[in-house]
Amino acid sequence: MMADITYRQALHDVLREELLRDENVFLLGEEIGNFEGSYKITAGLLKEFGPKRVVDTPICENGFVGMATGAAMLGLRPIVEIMTINFIVLAMDEIVNHAAKIYAMFGGQCPVPLVIRTPGGGGQQLSATHSQNLEVWFAHVPGLKVVAPSTPADAKGMMRSAVRDNNPVIFLENLALYNTKGEAPADDYVVPFGKAKVSKEGADLTVISYSRMAAVALDVARRLEKENQLSVEVVDLRSLRPLDHETILNSVKKTNRAIIFEEDWRSYGIGAEIAAILQEYAFDYLDAPIKRVASLEVPLPYSKPLEIAALTGAKQLLETINELAPRRRRGVQR
Amino acid sequence: MSEVNMPRLSDTMQEGTIAHWLKKPGDPVKKGDILAEVETDKATMELQAYDSGVLEQILVQEGETVPIGQAVAIIGSGTGVQKQAQPAAEKAGRAAEEEAPTSRAGRDGQRQEQAAQQTASPTGDTGSSAPLSTPPASAPRERAEAEAGGDGRSIKASPLARRMAEEHHIDLAQLRGTGPGGRIVRDDIEDFLEQKPAASAPAATPPPAAAPTVASQVSIPEDAEAHPISRMQAAIARRLTESKQTIPHFYVSSEVDMTDALAMRQTFNASAGEDGVKVSVNDLIVKACALALEKFPECNGSFKDGQFIQYKHINVGIAVDVPAGLVVPVIRDANIKGVRSIAREAKALIEKARANKLSQTDLEGGTFSVSNLGMMDVTDFIAVINPPQAAILAIASTRKRFVPIDGQPVIRDLMSMTMSADHRILYGATVARFLQEVKRLLQNPFNLLG
């Protein structure tokens, strides 16, 4: 029997299980020990595993990401928490110039089994410097893997894959996902990287998304099917690098219409990459221009009404779906 | 520079008429500005600008009808402002003459069928609002080439449509695109493919109703004059012809003693205060019908494709007379709304109807209708079912009558009502029981406040 658990609980449980399973696994980050994490993912773990396995660091992202990279090179399996993705910019050099490159630059002699967990996302009135979605910067870099699960079950399975992977993984979470619930098996399963998931089948058009927006898209698609029988297929990418071309191409070859729905800014975003793949490999299947639904290109305002106006969401997705929907509907049983 | 296209403003809309231009060539426009009012078969709606710039050119004049997707104006930087509009009407008229009448009828029938199939939605009533007539497609070749600037190879079509056309050996120039900017899309290819076999097997299924649609060329007597009818009037003509010709109507009448209901209403309204909305007799009737529909859900349904569709929501349409005809805005979930809420909504809808401001949402989703001529001193009348609904209740005037009570003549307020019902799914006894329940509720009016 599977129980409904929160995304937060799923992460907590899987971290604990990995700490138990492999003594080389350890956690480090700001306020993850005594304070139990800004978002309480690491609650109780310091008590259970002690300060050698759950390490509170000073406020110095470049320092502790560098330290984790070194530890990983020497055989440990660190899981770093960056409090939010906004602070990751301080550790860019360690991630992009070191962690991502070492395995290739040393001829495969030295793997770097490092996981960096970090939540992104806006909507919490944390203003411009604390609400960003910067995953695309990392998805651009060969040598990194970037994953962004949207459900508790995928979060568990992908965290296991991340910890057991021998090279650096950026594990993207989302502030607004932590309290969402879903079923998650209790056994020791893994969700492989590079495999998107069709979270709802549909016939009229495809919405491609990831992380929190994948959850929003699924909700919108279910509602539309119930209310007006528009049949929307939802593809949850789960993994941004490696990216599963096959699943998105198959979906769009079936529905002929695609929307990419992402919380980040539109220009040069994940949507731009997906759109490029679709037009390159499924050109003859496209019946309409590929649409991107993303957030406004502004530093996110603090003011609640302005924040709502700037962030993308269900409303923007619905508008675009209505604009793009074909006249003849295929989802309806005739 | 971007084209402004005739938008699809409702599920069933195939074409729209520009009622008024609110901007003229040379006017600056901002994204979101209302450019024009568009008349569809259901309501008058607004055409919004999706780009900012200068309205350079109006391509479709007031009163002209064009299919969805066709460009009606051009918004640009202002360099190409053209005061003189293109004579689109002339082009369309010429095109209409060239189209063979047989293929048109065939296509019409098919589209109506298609629209009917699309309406299995539990809340939609849109099935019967299939297009009035096929939009006047131009002689295909000429049109495609005109759009493509004389070069047949640069017809706008989606990659998928091109591939499908190639597979089925279809010349894209024969097609009219309904996608954005007139782009030929998969829908158009599929329409075309379905239309071909239909054309080769003529008279398989004649269109269900020979509705009085297009203004005919028939001569009229000298002492009479012909008036063109509005799109709404044409839609009413078509829908009601179809209703009366395809639905086996039957009628059941009953009389209700409204004395207590009127008294209750007076008390109720006296306590409403200065700004309070007054509840009308019709609001009470709407509420009574909604509650009775809860009890007799058979009356809250549709006959469709040999099936009986029963709706979960009870949305009561109220017939409102407007200068150019009749509209039936809908009060949703009337069974769970209080009479004051119903009164407030009904008042707002009637005001919108009179101002010709009803939106698509106001008009769709009805599952039952009430038509009330009580204020006009009518003894009795019979209404035509508003498809795809199964029934409509016609309310006549309430009159003072002598009624024998305990052997004594007593003056009471009596109201007569007649229900028209679809005999394919409703039967006399059901309707009679439904009316009994409406009557019981109105005669014990405090039930309506529960």
Are B158 and A328 within 8 A, CB to CB?
no
Using the beta-carbon criterion (under 8 Å), do A284 and B8 form an inter-chain contact?
Answer: no
Q: Does B120 touch chain A (CB under 8 A)?
A: yes
B68 and B114 part of one domain: no
Say if residues B42 and B360 touch (Cβ distance below 8 Å).
Answer: yes
The whole-chain average pLDDT of chain A stands at 95
- Quote helix, strand, coil % in chain A, to nearest 5: 40, 20, 40
Q: What is the pLDDT of residues B107-147, one digit of tens each?
A: 444 444 444 444 444 443 443 443 444 344 444 444 444 44
Distance from CA of B102 to the nearest CA of A (A): 24
Chain A closest-CA separation from residue B158 CA (Å): 5
Residues of A in contact with B178 (CB under 8 A): 327
Nearest CA in chain B to A226: B121
A116-120, A223-227, B436-440: range with lowest mean pLDDT: A223-227
Query: The domain that contains B126 carries what CATH number?
Result: 4.10.320.10
User: Tens of pLDDT along A126-163?
Assistant: 999 999 999 999 999 999 999 999 999 999 999 999 99
Residue A187 has which token pair? Answer: 């056994």
The alpha carbon of residue B155 is apart from the nearest alpha carbon of chain A, in Å, by 15
- Quote the domain boundaries for residue B249: 235-449
Report yes or no on B318 lying in a domain. Answer: yes
Kindly state the average pLDDT of the residues B223-237.
82
The residue among B186, B187, B193, B194 with the most chain A CBs within 10 A of its CB, best to mutate, is B186
How many CB pairs lie under 8 A apart between chains A and B?
46
Does B36 score more than 70 pLDDT?
A: yes
d(CA B298, CA B312): 11
pLDDT tens digits along B192-204? 888 765 444 444 4
C-alpha of A296 from chain center: 20
pLDDT at A262 over 80: yes
Residue that terminates a domain, selected from B94, B125, B144: B94
| Contact between B158 and A288 using a beta-carbon 8 Å cutoff | yes
pLDDT value at position A278?
97
List all residues 6 or more positions away from B101 whose beta carbon is below 8 Å from its beta carbon.
none
pTM score of the predicted model: 0.53
Say if B185 is an interface residue toward chain A (CB within 8 Å): yes
Residue B222: the pLDDT is 79
At residue B77 the predicted structure's pLDDT band, cuts being 50, 70 and 90, is confident
Cβ <8 Å between A285 and B160: yes
Q: Are residues B80 and B129 in the same domain?
A: no
DSSP 3-state of B103: helix
Judgement on whether residues B76 and B148 belong to the same structural domain of the protein: no
pLDDT of residue B80: 62
In tens, the pLDDT along B325-355 reads: 889 999 999 999 999 999 999 999 999 998 8
The verdict on a CB contact (< 8 Å) between B160 and A328 is no
What total number of domains does chain B contain? Answer: 3
What pLDDT is attached to residue B217? 52
Tell me the shortest Cα–Cα distance from A26 to chain B, in angstroms: 52
**pLDDT score, position A41:** 97
- Do both B290 and B352 map to the same domain? yes
Residues B246, B150 share a domain: no
User: Which CATH code fits A3-184?
Assistant: 3.40.50.970
- pLDDT band of residue B2 (cuts 50, 70, 90) is confident
Amino acid B49: pLDDT: 86
Q: Does B179 touch chain A (CB under 8 A)?
A: yes
Q: Could you tell me if residue B22 is inside a domain?
A: yes
Is residue B421 in a domain?
Answer: yes
Check which CATH number belongs to the domain holding B30 and give it: 2.40.50.100
Tell me the per-residue pLDDT of B382-412, one tens digit each, with 9 for 90 and over: 999 999 999 999 999 999 999 998 999 999 9
| pLDDT tens track for A3-55 | 799 999 999 999 999 999 999 999 999 999 999 999 999 999 999 999 999 99
Indicate whether B255 and B364 sit together in one domain: yes
On whether any CB of chain A is under 8 Å from the CB of B404, the answer is no
Nearest to A327 among B117, B120, B187 (CB): B187
Kindly state whether residues B359 and B434 are assigned to the same domain: yes
Q: Note the pLDDT tens digit of each residue in A85-127.
A: 999 999 999 999 999 999 999 999 999 999 999 999 999 999 9
pLDDT score of A243 more than 50: yes
Residues B309 and B389 in one domain: yes
| B79 and B112 co-located in one domain | no
A197-324 matches A3-184 in CATH topology = yes
Q: Does any domain span residue B207?
A: no
Q: Angle between the B281-295 and B259-270 helix axes, to the nearest 10 degrees?
A: 120
Q: What is the CATH number of domain A197-324?
A: 3.40.50.920
End-of-domain residue from the set B94, B117, B134: B94
pLDDT (0 to 100) of residue A258: 98
User: Are B174 and B286 part of one and the same domain?
Assistant: no
Last residue of a domain, one of B27, B62, B94: B94
Is B362 inside a domain boundary? yes
Q: Judge whether B217 lies within some domain.
A: no
* B137-189 confidence digits (pLDDT tens): 444 444 444 444 444 457 899 999 999 999 888 889 888 888 888 899 999 99
Q: Is residue B225 part of a domain?
A: no
**Cβ separation A228–B121 shorter than 8 A:** yes
Identify which of A175, A168, A163 has the alpha carbon closest to the alpha carbon of residue A119. Answer: A175
Q: What value does the mean pLDDT take over residues A235-245?
A: 98
ipTM over cut 0.90: no
User: Measured between CA atoms, how close is B281 to chain A, in angstroms?
Assistant: 33
CB-based contact B123 A287, cutoff 8 Å: no
Together in a domain, B239 and B185: no
Residues of A in contact with B179 (CB under 8 A): 288
| Interchain pair B160, A256: CB under 8 A | yes
* CATH number, domain with residue B253: 3.30.559.10
Return the amino acid letter for B379: T
CB-CB neighbors (< 8 A) of B124 in chain A: 228
Q: Are B27 and B69 part of one and the same domain?
A: yes
Q: Is residue B182 in some structural domain?
A: yes
Domain ranges of chain A: 3-184, 197-324
Extended beta strands in B149-276, E state: 249-257
